[in-house]
A and B are shown apart, each in its own frame.
Chain A
Amino acid sequence: MSEVGITLDSLLGQLLLGLVNGSFYAMLSLGLAVIFGLLNIVNFAHGALYMMGAYFAWIGLTYFGIGYWWSLLIAPSFVAVFGMVIERSLLQWLYKLDHLYGLLLTFGVSLIIEGTYRYFFGVSGQPYPVPELLSGSTDLGFMSLPNYRGWVVIASLAVCLSTWFVIERTRLGAYLRAATENPQLTQAFGINVPLLVMLTYGFGAALAAFAGVLAAPVIQITPLMGNNLIVIVFAVVVIGGMGSILGAVATGLALGVIEGLTKVFYPEASSTVVFVIMALVLLVRPAGLFGREK
């Protein structure tokens, strides 16, 4: 029945919406890739950090009157500090062990965060208003796009590209890449690798929190919002491989679009399409689209 009225216009509209969702996937998988690159840890707590970002924005607005624009800066900073504390207090003891322990530990951390938020904020969730500057919508001819959704795409692309720029084109990024390749040698050159690791985890956490703040006006803020997303983002990461930054971003965007199209042509499968693609990629190209194995 949903085939009713699939016109070129509505198709374009759906593509654009897919791009919006893809932006979230891109930002989250980028954060996972950055953390994995240096720490060799798959950060299961990423969804929880994303949720924390959204909650900090809400808490800021409700209790302290901090508006959306400041929240975009403040919430990620707080979550970054939180992330760095986690890294220093818990994760740093695991670097010499099997990577699996990192996954297990961060899984535990995500349960603790989620449980705590459930206790204090309940599960029905909290609303967050669209900032005034971006309320209303723009008529694009083929659809009327809420301005805020447009902003999400622009903001996330900007963040992703600047991350890429920092890592690939700056001195700090060069240290980072060096530490990824050979931490001992990098340390020997007088670069403080543990500090670099801490900052990287903090930065990854901040990326997740930034995505959370961006999402806050679009969806209801609940303690569960992260864990629904994290499994999909894992699949995205498997498809793209965690080897390259642009790869993670491109895969995220592309899967958002594909998922959007599925919602039009066969909505029943829109929850599983990402996993099916993952299975196909594994059959054809086990290392992932942009991946280099180990």
Chain B
Amino acid sequence: MIKLSLVLGVAMAVLIAACSKSDDVDEKVTDGAIRIGVLTDMSGLYSDIGGQGSIVAAELAVEDLGGEVDGKPIELVSVDHQNKADIAAQKVREWIDRNGVDMVTDALNSAVALATSKVVAEKKRILMVTGAATTRLTNEDCTAYTIHHSYDTFALANGTGTAVVKQGGDTWFFLTSDYAFGHSLETDTANIVKKAGGSVLGAVRHPLSASDFSSFLLQAQNSKAKIIGLANAGGDTINSIKAANEFGLTETQNLAGLLVFITDIHSLGLPVTQGMYVTSGWYWDLNDETRAWSKRFFERMGKMPTMIHAGVYSSVIMYANAVKATGTDEADGIMEWLRNNPQSDMFGKNLTLRKDGRLVHDMYLMQVKDPSESNAAWDYYNVRQTIPAANAFQPLSESRCPLITGGSS
């Protein structure tokens, strides 16, 4: 028995060693290089809005920077967190402790972003969230080291809610995904609709990944509301839109998608989505600069970038600019510099970092084109309105972030 156990013990040690030999490579040369980690979902639910595209976006940024900042090379590492917060948190810890990673970007999926933000704050590095939507990142769970870059649920609700009421859509009914994310999206939008003079007639809660939306839509139809707000995401939004068309809702009522990405429009097709309002932080066809960049992106990925991809690009550029200006990769100094020096790049102009970690910039209200207007693949949106940075995000006066309210953090 003893011999057997010894053999097994040794076998186990050898096994661990064999499986994880790359962990032994200890690179602690923090200051020899600038290391940026792209933390994304390569294979799961969010891999189309982030995934490989996020890595490509970061690579484009490194190329534009000439691969270095003041002679120090920029190195990219990336990881597939498989939508598991424990893999993400542990990998990021390892990145920081062992590989000397200075900044982490993307962080798709809110559980991943929140878990990572804790690690990064503890280790005093920087996290630039371009992927996750939750406003908790800049409220209850804000830290002095997290930058929420591209968008959040409040900005989306705000943009779509205000604009739709202004266009005459003053009675709303919500189709809400029945968990925290859906609820907060519904509440935020409902408040904005009421503030703009509209009224909310009701809501129906559906389970996540429901197999069929027709019953819920029938209830929405019976409410006779002019606008049906889709407070859900991903596959649920897509299936609600499909069912709404099938049951002829769209002939009498309008849909407002509260979290819709261009990839969703692409997969649904224009005939089904035309006329829908969408709020976004970025669109590839905004101006010459975005078009030029997107063309480069398209050449490598075979599809157009989402706002998350553009956000990853912008976050790398911003970070490099800050390192250049301050001459260090020390996080406090960089955050301080970014707060005082608004940035401009392909993502947008005058990107201003607030104390709660929110990066403030213009948002855009889009309307999906009808098929006859669309000239090419990915030509999906008409920009209806630019929502100025000052009005686009949750005002600091409503912040629940301890850094703002002065509570203990």
Q: Are B238 and A124 in contact (CB under 8 A)?
A: yes
Is there a chain B Cβ closer than 8 Å to A130's Cβ?
yes
Most buried by B among A14, A148, A224, A270: A270
Task: Name the distance in Å between A285's Cβ and chain B's nearest Cβ.
Answer: 26
Is there a chain A Cβ closer than 8 Å to B340's Cβ?
no
- CB-nearest residue of chain A to B200: A1
Q: Are B248 and A144 in contact (CB under 8 A)?
A: yes
Q: Are B218 and A14 in contact (CB under 8 A)?
A: yes
Q: Are B212 and A218 in contact (CB under 8 A)?
A: yes
* Residue in contact with B247 in the complex, picked from A18, A137, A222, A263, CB distance below 8 Å: A137
Cβ contacts under 8 Å, A125 to chain B: 235, 238, 267
Q: Are A137 and B267 in contact (CB under 8 A)?
A: no
Task: Name the distance in Å between A54's Cβ and chain B's nearest Cβ.
Answer: 13
Q: Are A220 and B216 in contact (CB under 8 A)?
A: no
* Residue in contact with B207 in the complex, picked from A1, A144, A271, CB distance below 8 Å: A271
Q: A115 CA to B202 CA in the complex, in Å?
A: 39
Q: Which of the segments A2-10, A33-41, A64-72 contacts the partner chain?
A: A2-10
Given contacts A2-B202, A271-B208, contact A218 B242 (CB under 8 A): yes
* Residue in contact with A124 in the complex, picked from B206, B248, B267, CB distance below 8 Å: B267
Q: A229 CA to B208 CA in the complex, in Å?
A: 12
| Chain A 197-242 residues near chain B, CB threshold 8 A | 218-220, 222, 224, 228-229, 232
Number of A residues with CB within 8 Å of any CB on chain B: 44
Cβ contacts under 8 Å, A249 to chain B: none
Q: A126 CA to B272 CA in the complex, in Å?
A: 13
Q: Are B204 and A219 in contact (CB under 8 A)?
A: no
Task: Name the distance in Å between A257's Cβ and chain B's nearest Cβ.
Answer: 11
Is there a chain A Cβ closer than 8 Å to B121's Cβ?
no
Is there a chain B Cβ closer than 8 Å to A61's Cβ?
no
Q: Are A10 and B218 in contact (CB under 8 A)?
A: yes
Is there a chain A Cβ closer than 8 Å to B370's Cβ?
no
Cβ contacts under 8 Å, B43 to chain A: 115, 118-119
Is there a chain A Cβ closer than 8 Å to B215's Cβ?
yes
Given contacts A123-B44, A143-B218, contact A21 B246 (CB under 8 A): no
Q: Are B219 and A220 in contact (CB under 8 A)?
A: no
Q: Are A127 and B207 in contact (CB under 8 A)?
A: no
Is there a chain A Cβ closer than 8 Å to B239's Cβ?
yes
Cβ contacts under 8 Å, A270 to chain B: 206-207, 210
| Chain B 201-260 residues near chain A, CB threshold 8 A | 201-212, 214-216, 218-219, 222-223, 234-235, 238-239, 242-243, 246-248
Q: Are B212 and A219 in contact (CB under 8 A)?
A: yes
Q: A123 CA to B44 CA in the complex, in Å?
A: 7
Cβ contacts under 8 Å, B206 to chain A: 263, 267, 270
Is there a chain A Cβ closer than 8 Å to B178's Cβ?
yes
Q: A220 CA to B212 CA in the complex, in Å?
A: 10
Q: Are A218 and B246 in contact (CB under 8 A)?
A: yes
Cβ contacts under 8 Å, B201 to chain A: 4
Task: Name the distance in Å between A81's Cβ and chain B's nearest Cβ.
Answer: 27
Q: A222 CA to B47 CA in the complex, in Å?
A: 13
15 A-B pairs whose Cβ atoms sit less than 8 Å apart in the complex? A4-B223, A5-B219, A13-B218, A14-B215, A17-B212, A17-B218, A123-B48, A124-B48, A126-B267, A127-B272, A144-B247, A218-B242, A219-B211, A232-B211, A270-B210
B residues neighboring A (CB under 8 Å) = 43-48, 178, 201-212, 214-216, 218-219, 222-223, 234-235, 238-239, 242-243, 246-248, 263-264, 266-269, 272
